[in-house]
Every structure is written in structure tokens, then in C-alpha cells.
Structure 1
């Protein structure tokens, strides 16, 4: 009799190589991806003019004519320094916004060290000091630690195509989820619970990008029976963007619509 050699099966599957975690970003950026998907409510007529005075200095004029509230004018200035860490991060940065009523909102961002960022926010209302806030941020390889005076801490997870954020404090909780389904479709879900007011709200938003038509559409549906959308249309080669928005609240039987022109 002869010997038969049978192949030996390897029952041990190779371990899956895990990709290293990336830094989730700053505290302010955690909810930004989700909020950008939602359309901003429009009412009346708005004109926005952007002007870059230099590579470091830019001003913006905003005129809003409302049929419901008070019409206003905003003057915004932005200064950026020479130290650029990424396409969206340049230090130091100073941002100031003042309206026709004398209310001021100013922010100062500074890079203390390579991994330490600071931000100070000052706000006044009709020449009366209202509030201030100071943030200190330490960025590691796969985490971000933030200390904010007067605000709770944050727990987050992030990835290339989705961002999930949970913000818990004494007054309630705020959670958001952003998902980039494709280059054209982005969705966001937001849940906010307020223990003081005993109120919980839920909102779902989506964004559709049509680059061939130079159009962007954002839609909204929330737990207050409010539906709405904003359509933005660029008019190349002119630096002009037209936006048309409409919102309907079924519960309160209210309808708002608006039109804006953005130059720059």
C-alpha cells in the first residue's frame, strides 16, 4: 500500500490589518459636516458681496431686507496670517462681524505650539457686553482634547466618509451623524435633547450636488413638521451665485420664502 499526501488546510485566517485612526478635528468642526447638509432658512431678500483686499485680508458686506423681522446690514472682516497647516487652517486668524445695530461678534484663533490651538470669542449686543468664551485644544495623532470654559466635553468618532458626534452636558445631549454616500449625495441626522425645557428635536437633512449644472440643493425635514429646501445656482464666468429657499411649517401653518444674491 502506498501513502497518500493530503493538503493541509490553513484554518487560521490572516489577521485583518487595521488602518490607523486619524485625528477627528477640532471641537467646532465635529458638527460642521452634518450642519452643512441642512439648508439655512431664507426669508426676504439678501445681498452678499465678498471682496479680497489682499492675500491676508477680506471683507464682506451683507444686506438683508426682511418682510417679517427687522432689516439689517452686516460688515465682516477676516484676517489670516502666514502660517498655514492645511488648506482650511491658517494662523493667526481674526474674524469680526458688526451689524447696523452695533452688535459685535469677534473671534481670535492662535497656534501656541504645533499641537496646541487656542480660540477666544467675544460678543456684544447693541454696544453692551454679552459673553465671552475661551477654548484650548490639544491635538494628538488619533484624538483631540478640548477644554472650553462653560461648555461640556465631547466624545466623537470620525472616518473618511462619516462623522458621528455625541455632546453630553448638564442641560441635555446633542448628537449628529454625517454620511457622504457619494460625490453627489450627502446626508445628515441631528438629535438634540434639552432636559431643562423637556424638549427633544430630530432633524434630517440632505445635500445634492450637480456640478455639471453648477447647482446645489439642500433639503430639510424635522420633528416639528417643518420641511424646506434651498437651491443654489452659480452663474459662471460671473462670480455670482443665486439662491432660492422655501420653508413650510405644517404644525404652525407658516410659510417662508427668500431669495439671495451672492457676489464673490
Structure 2
């Protein structure tokens, strides 16, 4: 957990690769139930607390994802299960150029929200590759992987397994594991529902590398989440840091999120507050945040109906460094 910092994950694929709409009559993963009212959650798992890594998901979704420069994306659905995308990026601080992306969604559905197989990937003209996939063996057991190839070498790998019980979720992950160099990261998560509104869990991380004193290190983090009718509180305390996040929906248009994190090693406190403002009738959405480094960021998104066009405008200003960045994105297709 933390403010957008992953302690164990390998680099993820480019965020411009988005999961396309599901086949008619189903719901997108994490989305609303289909119109016919088919149940989304199996009664067997109605008290399941979800995964450990999603403890503060509601709050993190409020925070904007800034970008710099210009970005154009074209999406095309070849059929219900296979989709492609073309992305052209021009930026002075992030990798620029053309990327080709693909998404495959298996036809078998375990639930309206969960296809048995999902594969995503993107590549550039130099052959650099980002890929990730999910395979649901059953409603309780899920495998996931992430692979990144840079300059014809594996830059990052990750393999994970999630097991979902009636009122708990257990997960195990291996990242950048290399037996020959004796390096890698192993993480075990466990999350238990105490009541329908309260869950607690723990994360045990083991990292092995030659540059670490003694050759290896472990870290234990304990976490919890409290969900009320109007808000979601989540907190964690570990060997290296502690933090708190708060999410609240103020009304139908405005959502609020606050995150605090204190790092013992870096002796640094990070605090940020964000909000999301939605106008569904105008097909307009805005996310904005400010942190204790006096960085203000905002992202505006507008869907240009009836055409399948989306316009995004981003701005970020650091008042201390007097640094300003701006981005503009345009996407065509689903």
C-alpha cells in the first residue's frame, strides 16, 4: 500500500492499453452488473473482502494520473474478444513514439464480471514488449503474470496466485526472481473479513539481492479497512512505513480522497488530497489533487458524443520548483 508506490510489482504495461468493453450482456471487470440483473457476486463469496492490494482502491481511483505532451490513441474491436490499439505519444519526459497494443478476452465467463482468460500487451517498433495476463481456474483461484522486455532482455517479470475463500483472500507473488543471480522478491498477502464492514490483513515481503546487507531482507506490514455507508477508511503499519487513506462520496457528482504516508527510511511524510467531479449528463469528468510538496494536478476528460471520441487535458504545476507540465490526449474508438 502507499501513495501509488508498488513495493514488489514488476513494471506494468503502458496505461494507455485499456480493457475494451465486454461482449453484450456482460459487465466489464469491476463494472456494474448487466442490465438483466444477473448477479455479479456468487453468494458463496458475498463476504469476501477482496484482495489485499485493493484495500485502498476506492481512494486511489480518485487521484488523477497526469501525463505530459501529446497522445493520440485509436482503438478497434475486431470481434467480441479481440481488440487492437494504436498509440502515438510525443513527450519530453516519458518514452515517445508509436506503440501497438492488443487485448484478448476469452469467451468463457465464470461470472458476468470475470472471463476465464484475459491477455493484454503492447510493443513498439524496437521490439520492447509489455504484457500481462489473467487466468481464472475457477471462481476461487486466479493466476496472473506480468512481463516486460527491454532491449531484448527481460526487464521485469511477475507471477501471482490469488485464492478467494468465503471470508478471506490469500495471495502469493514472485517478482524478478533469478536463481542464478540469487535475486528476487517474494510476497505473501492474507486478508480476513471480521465483519461485513471490517477486514484486517498482513503482508510479508522477502527480498534477496547482493547489495542488501546480509544478502536478504524481510518486511512485515499489517493493514485494515473499515467501510461505512458513506466512507471507506484504510490504514497500514509496517517495518518501513505507515499510512492512512480516506474515501468519501459527498454526493452524486463529487468524491473525495485523502492519503497520508510516512516513510521511516526516507524520513519523509507524503500527504495528498484529491477529488473527482462527474457530470454524467454532460459526459464530463474532472480529477484534481494537491500534495504537501505544493504540486497541483488536474485532468479533464470529455466524451464527444455522438462520435466515439474522448478528449483529455492534463496540467501539473509545482509551486516550489516553479515547474509546469501540460498534456493533451485524444482517443478514437471504444
With the shorter chain as reference, the TM-score category is 0.7 to 0.9
Where in structure 1 are there 5+ consecutive unaligned residues?
1-19
Say whether residues 1:157 and 2:182 are aligned partners: no
Moved more, 97-106 or 53-62: 97-106
CA displacement at 1:227 relative to structure 2:
0.6
**1:89-168 equivalence runs, <5 A:** 89-149=114-174, 150-151=186-187, 153=189, 154=202, 155-157=223-225, 159=227, 162-166=231-235
Say whether residues 1:214 and 2:283 are aligned partners: yes
Local SS of the residue matching 1:34: helix
Structure 1 runs (4+) greater than 6 angstroms displaced? none
CA displacement at 1:48 relative to structure 2:
1.3
The answer to whether the 8 Å contact 1:37/1:205 transfers is: yes
User: Deviation string for 1:128-149 (max 9, x for gaps)?
Assistant: 1122222221212333222223
TM-score (norm 2): 0.66
The answer for the alignment partner of 1:24 in structure 2 is 49
In 2, Cα distance between the equivalents of 1:98 and 1:174? 36
Size of the alignment, in residue pairs?
Answer: 245
In 2, Cα distance between the equivalents of 1:251 and 1:152? 39
Local SS of the residue matching 1:242: strand
The answer for the alignment partner of 1:15 in structure 2 is none
Moved more, 100-109 or 199-208: 100-109
The answer for the alignment partner of 2:302 in structure 1 is 233
The answer for the alignment partner of 1:8 in structure 2 is none
Distance 1:101 1:207, change over 3 A: farther
Moved more, 88-97 or 215-224: 88-97
Distance 1:130 1:163, change over 3 A: farther
TM-score (norm 1): 0.81
The answer to whether the 8 Å contact 2:285/2:300 transfers is: yes
In 1, Cα distance between the equivalents of 2:102 and 2:314? 26
Local SS of the residue matching 2:158: strand
In 2, Cα distance between the equivalents of 1:178 and 1:262? 29
In 2, Cα distance between the equivalents of 1:49 and 1:30? 33
Distance 1:130 1:50, change over 3 A: same
In 1, Cα distance between the equivalents of 2:129 and 2:157? 12
Local SS of the residue matching 2:187: coil
Moved more, 47-56 or 150-159: 150-159
Distance 1:42 1:250, change over 3 A: same
The answer to whether the 8 Å contact 1:24/1:157 transfers is: no
The answer for the alignment partner of 1:63 in structure 2 is 88
The answer for the alignment partner of 1:10 in structure 2 is none
CA displacement at 1:195 relative to structure 2:
3.4
The answer for the alignment partner of 2:70 in structure 1 is 45
- Over aligned residue pairs, what C-alpha RMSD do you find? 2.5
Distance 1:251 1:242, change over 3 A: same
In 1, Cα distance between the equivalents of 2:149 and 2:83? 22
In 2, Cα distance between the equivalents of 1:195 and 1:50? 44
Where in structure 2 are there 5+ consecutive unaligned residues?
1-44, 175-185, 190-201, 203-222
CA displacement at 1:34 relative to structure 2:
2.1
In 1, Cα distance between the equivalents of 2:235 and 2:159? 21
The answer for the alignment partner of 2:40 in structure 1 is none
CA displacement at 1:64 relative to structure 2:
1.0
